[in-house]
Every structure is written in C-alpha cells, then in structure tokens.
Structure 1
Amino acid sequence: MTKQSIYNKKYYALIAVVLAIILVSGYNYFHKDIRHMTLSKEQQEQVTALLQNSPTRCIGTYLIDLPAVFKADDTMDFNYRNRTVKINTYPQYLPPFKQMIALREQELKNTKPVNPINGNYLKAIYPLYSDDPEKIQGIIFEHMESIGTPDVARILEGYRWQDEVTLKIEIKARNGIASRYDDDREDYPKLYANNVPQKLTDMSKLFGRIKTRDDLAIPTTPGFCFLRGFMQGEDREWKDMNYGYLHNSIENFSFYFKFNDYADDYALLDKPESYFTSNRGHTIYKGTRSSEYLKLEEWIVKGKYFLDEKGFDTDDMGYLFTLGIHMTDPTYKTPQLRLEMYYKIPKDGTQGYSEDQLMVIWHEITNSIKIRESSFEPE
C-alpha cells in the first residue's frame, strides 16, 4: 500500500470522525431531552429563586404550582352551555361599580334600534335582592341582542358585586310574544316563545352557585375554578375558558391556560409544525412525558412571536412552549387543558433566562399539574 493510500485513508477517517461529532452535537442540540437538563450552579440558583415560592393555583378542575411573581391578568374569556352564557370577572371597588352600573344603564337607554317597530332597546331592569347591600349588590338588564336584529332576540346582562370583585353574566334569551310575531310563532313556536322568565331563573341560580375567591384560595368541595371565581357543585355542562398570568416585572414572560370539554381532531404532536411556528420560527423540542397520572404532550419553538403596541409583528426573538392534556379524549372528569408559556429574549443577552433554564422552569412547573380530586362528587 502506498503512502498516498495510507494518507487518504487517515484523511477520510478523520473526516468521518469530525462529521460524526458534528451530527451527534447537532442532534443533541436540536433534540434536547427536557427531562434531563443540566444547569450550571449559577443558572440553577436563578431558577431556584424563581420556583421556590410557587403557590398552587386552581384552573378548572386542575391544580398547578405557579411562581408567585406571576399575577392573574384582568381579562378572561369564559363561554358556558354551548356559548349561550358568557361569564367574566374583574376586580373593582364598590364606588366604581355603582358608577359603572349607572353609566351602563344610561348607555342602554340611549341606544336606539334601527327599526323603530322594535321599541326601546332596553326592555327591562331587574334588581338583585341582597340582605346586605354593602357586601353584595347587583342588577340585571334585559335588552335587545343588537340594534339591527328583531327584538325577539334578547340578552340578559347581569352584574353582581361582592368582595371587591364584579361578576358579569350574559345569557341569550328570546321573547316573541308581541302580536307582530303571531304568524312566525305558528310556524316556529320555539323561536318565538318567551323564555325570559326561565332565563332569569337560570341567571339567579348561576349567581347563587358562583362564589368569588382569592387566586390562591383552593376549594375543597365539588365544582370548578375560574379567574377570581368558583362554580359550586359538580358540573357536566359544556364550558370553554381561557385566561393568563403575567410576570410582575419581566415584560412578555407569561402563561396562558385554556380549559374546555370538547375534543380536538388531532393530538398536539399530530399537528403540523407550522401550526406552532407560524412560519416565523423553528422547533427546539417536542415529545411526551407522564406526571401525576397524566400524559403531557409538548411542543417548544423559538422564533418571532411578539407584537408591538399597535399589534404588528416584530423581529423580537423568543420562545413559545405549548402543552396539551387530553386534547382528543376529554371527559368531564379529565377535561382538556392547554397551557402556553411565552418568553421574549431581552435585548441585553446577558440578562434574563437562557434556553436551558427556560426548559427546566417549564418542566418543573408543568410537572406539578394534577387533577383536584375534590372537584367531583363521590361515586
């Protein structure tokens, strides 16, 4: 064998070793195992400082330990009973509540239907009875669904103030007893009936079932939690709610929860990558793991997912962590839960959390998710 042949063999062997190292390193980088992340001592201390004070929060019928620095956002989207009922809560002192109710009443009185035949837009006002108006008070407005639709379609818009929290409930109703609907009522008796009395009873029952609560108060009786509230009693009605928690000092570091009873067509990991990246990033990890008898699906991407104050896309880089539980097979005892964590990389790269730290933070927080067993009546 010539010296040249020996040299060529050594050369190609060296190239093969280098390529293998590159491939292994690349695989390890792009296929990080979120279950086995190792941090430096300083990085671990930063993570521990964030996680060491993580009180339990109640989301629907689930519990999760979330760092105390994350505070509940003011807004919530909660649809109930196949979207015929909308529920919302927000913090409010009594004087602003009274002012808000007065302004809302005047606004409804001033609103005029497009067709004058519909009469007044505001149809009726029903006060909520209270033994102690200084602790609990409220009102229900009955008005047209919109200025352009016939007044057979109604909305019951109810408010109750208690413990510095305003609870708002909206229920769709119908009242077609006006004589101009006589012919329509013969053809469609259900659509042109008057179910306002029944819907008022339904609203009264909901106000009775819903109790305000502090975000850190964990119920011990059957029912389900939502933002600043708890609906008492085991509940198998259709529901869909989502709300978030924002870091109290780090901009664009947040968690968003979506809790509902309906099944997706695809499992989280069966969705196309573009569903998560929006063609503005790339996947850094996806996989499944088990915790607290739950199967967790997760997909983590890095890219440009942040908007400016006007709602336009920016070039700011960050991470979007997504987790799904019972995405395709929810039941009333094991509802679907979807959790997202957003984190925007600071302008100063030496500040904030690294990618590995974020993965450890995500892993530790999501590993705490479990069902609140007392959510359900004993079988």
Structure 2
Amino acid sequence: MTELTANLKTRCVGRYLINMPGDAVESGHAKIQGVSIGAKAMTEEAYRKEVAQRETVLKATKSVDAYPFLYAAGQARGENTYSFIHRGTVYDDPSRRYFEGYKWDRGYRFLPKIKTYDYTHPDQTNDPIVKQFDVKNAVPEKTALVFSMLEKLRGRPEDEIPTEPGVCFAGGFLPTPEGSNESVDTQFRLHHMEDATFDIGMTPDLRETTTLLQRANSTELRAALKAADGELIRKGTVELPGLKSEEWLVEGRRPETGRRPRQLIFILH
C-alpha cells in the first residue's frame, strides 16, 4: 500500500476528482441519457479511414426483407463528425434503428451509440401495439440528442482536469449540467501489478434499495463466497469528510490459478 500511494495523481472520473497511482492506465466508457459513449486514441487519418470503412460495410449490407438496411449517412454537427442510422442486423424488425455517431477531437475518436425506433417507415402505425405509443418515430429526438453530444464532446488526456461542470470518462469529457440518467464505468490498471485494478462505477441514479453491507450479508452472497472458497477479511462503515461510505474486503481462490486475490468493494453514498 505504501508503494501504491507514493506517487499519486489527481484524475477526473465522472463528476469527481480522485487520487490514483501515477502510472495507472485508464479505460472505460460512459452512458448519458441512454447514449453509450466510448473514446479511442487515434490519429485523424485513422479516424477518417475507420469512418470510410464503416460506411462501405453498411452500404453493402442488405436486409433479408424488402426494406433498407442503411437509412442515413453523412456529416453530423460540428467539425470532424459523421453519423449513420441503420437497422442493426439484417434480421432486425424494419422499425428498428441504431444511431452511430463519430467524432475526432484532440487525438481521440468518439463513438456514441443509441438504439431507437421508427414505426412510420415502413408504416406500422395501424398495429394495435404501436397505436399505444405516444411517439411513433423517435429518430428525430435521438438524432438531436446525439448531434448535441457530438458538438460538445472533446478529447481529454488522462491528466487533464476540466474546470466546468460535466462528465469525465476515459479519453473524453462532455460538458453538461448535473442531472440523472448517467453513468460512468472506469478501470485503472497497474503495469507492475497485474492483479491490482481499481474498478469505479459512478451514477447519480440509485440502483439498489439496500446498502452494500446489507447485500454482503445476504444468503446468496454468503453462498457464493463459500463456493469460491472465499474468506471475509473485513466489512463495515468508513468515515470520510462529508460522505457516508461502506467497504467489504474479501478474498477467494481463482479456479485457473489457485491464487487468492483480494477484492475491496467500496461504496460512497
């Protein structure tokens, strides 16, 4: 632990700042307003090649029915942006739409994606189930959402700390006011310690009705720990300034190696 904390650097994850070992390598993605967003480091030339190859594949794909597979392709909003709207797979219902956005900025390629629907092309509005939907074609709404994100997304080196409200994720930053329906999943991996990783999940939306300690004491988790030849090291509350938190430290045997790595689960409320 002394070695891990000897050279800490501040990183931005989600809407928070945390201190991590200086050589930790970051990976992960975000999901905001239903849009999954990932970033990948690449040159602008590589980005343009990737988009061109993707367009070639989508244009060459034919649905198994009489309806198109690719519905839209072209520049989105802002510089170095592009987008596609397609069926997803050749077997998907004609109403299914997948929106893919592309953007290159400051050495990173962004790829926001969202699944949506259009019951007007072809027209299925007389279907009894479709009649119950207030919105028969959600493509314009989702297009506006993704276009707005593409316009704002920007590349972010791992040590850059934004000064405005927004969401940080591996390789990127989206300026946006604080709200709900967002999550960030990030992993920090250490070069010199293969078994040591820091997995961080952040969201303002409550996913559980019970606390970590309540779940750790459940019959199901006790049985899973026993099946993994596991052992409880410690659990309890942790005092942090202005925050309620809980921790659960366990170890268990990995079937493939027989080793007993420890896993620390830490929850902030």
What is the TM-score when the length of structure 1 is the normalising length? Answer: 0.64
In structure 1, distance between residues paired with 2:122 and 2:251: 61
Structure-1 separation of matches of 2:172 and 2:76: 19
Counterpart-to-counterpart distance in 2, 1:48 and 1:182: 64
Aligned equivalents of 2:226, 2:39: Cα separation in 1: 32
2:76 corresponding residue in structure 1: 128
Find the partner of 1:227 among 160, 166, 170: 170
1:221 corresponds to which letter in structure 2?
Answer: E
Is it true that 1:97 corresponds to 2:47 in the alignment?
yes
* Match in the other structure for 1:50: 4
Post-superposition shift, 1:247?
A: 0.3
The answer as to 2:262 corresponding to 1:319 is yes
Q: Tell me the distance in 2 between the aligned counterparts of 1:245 and 1:275.
A: 29
Separation in 1, partners of 2:179, 2:261:
38
Does 2:187 match 1:244? yes
In the alignment, residue 91 of structure 2 is paired with which amino acid?
G
Q: Is the 8 A contact 1:181 1:192 kept in 2?
A: no
Quote the offset at 1:166 in angstroms.
Answer: 0.8
- Structure 1: how far apart are the matches of 2:224 and 2:154? 36
* Distance in 1 (alpha carbons) for counterparts of 2:23 and 2:223: 30
Match of 1:267 among 211, 214, 218: 211
Q: Which residue of 2 aligns with 1:62?
A: 16
Considering fraction of residues, name the structure with more strand: 2
Counterparts in 2 of 1:1-379, with a 5 A limit?
Answer: 47-73=1-27, 76-81=28-33, 84-114=34-64, 116-118=65-67, 120-130=68-78, 136-178=79-121, 180-184=123-127, 188=131, 190=133, 193-260=136-203, 261-271=205-215, 272=218, 273-274=221-222, 277=225, 279-280=227-228, 281-305=230-254, 313-326=256-269
The structure with the greater share of residues assigned to helix is 1
- Summarize deviations over 1:165-208 as a string: whole Å, max 9, x none: 11111122322223542523895274773332332221111122
Gaps of 5+ in 1: 1-46, 131-135, 306-311, 327-379
RMSD of aligned Cα (Å) = 2.4
Separation of aligned partners in 1, 2:12 and 2:69: 39
8 A Cα contact 1:61 1:225, kept in partner: yes
Give percent identity, aligned residues only.
25
- The one-letter amino acid paired with 2:17 is L
Structure 2 CA distance for partners of 1:298 and 1:187, relative to 1, 3 Å: closer
Alpha-carbon deviation of 1:229?
1.8
User: Aligned pair in 2 of structure 1 residues 187, 168: CA closer, same or farther (>3 Å)?
Assistant: closer
5+ residue gaps, structure 2, are: none
SS in 2 for 1:188: helix
- Report the CA distance shift for 1:325/1:69 in structure 2 as closer, same or farther (over 3 A): same
What is the identity, as a one-letter code, of the residue corresponding to 1:324? I
Aligned residue pairs, count: 263
Tell me what 1:20 maps to: none
Shift of 1:262: 2.1
Bigger Rg, which one: 1
Paired residues of 1:145 and 1:151 also in contact (CA < 8 A): no
Distance 1:258 1:191, change over 3 A: same
The residue identity in structure 2 corresponding to 1:323 is: F
The whole-number CA distance in structure 2 between the counterparts of 1:182 and 1:256 is 45
> Per the alignment, in what secondary structure is the counterpart of residue 205 of structure 1?
helix
Q: 1:179 to 1:55 in 2, by over 3 A?
A: closer
Amino acid at match of 2:201: K
Q: Deviations over 1:253-293 (max 9, x none)?
A: 21110112223122111123538736311111111121121
Return the alpha-carbon distance in structure 2 between the equivalents of residues 268 and 324 of structure 1.
7
**299 and 247 in structure 1: CA distance in 2 versus 1, 3 angstrom threshold:** same
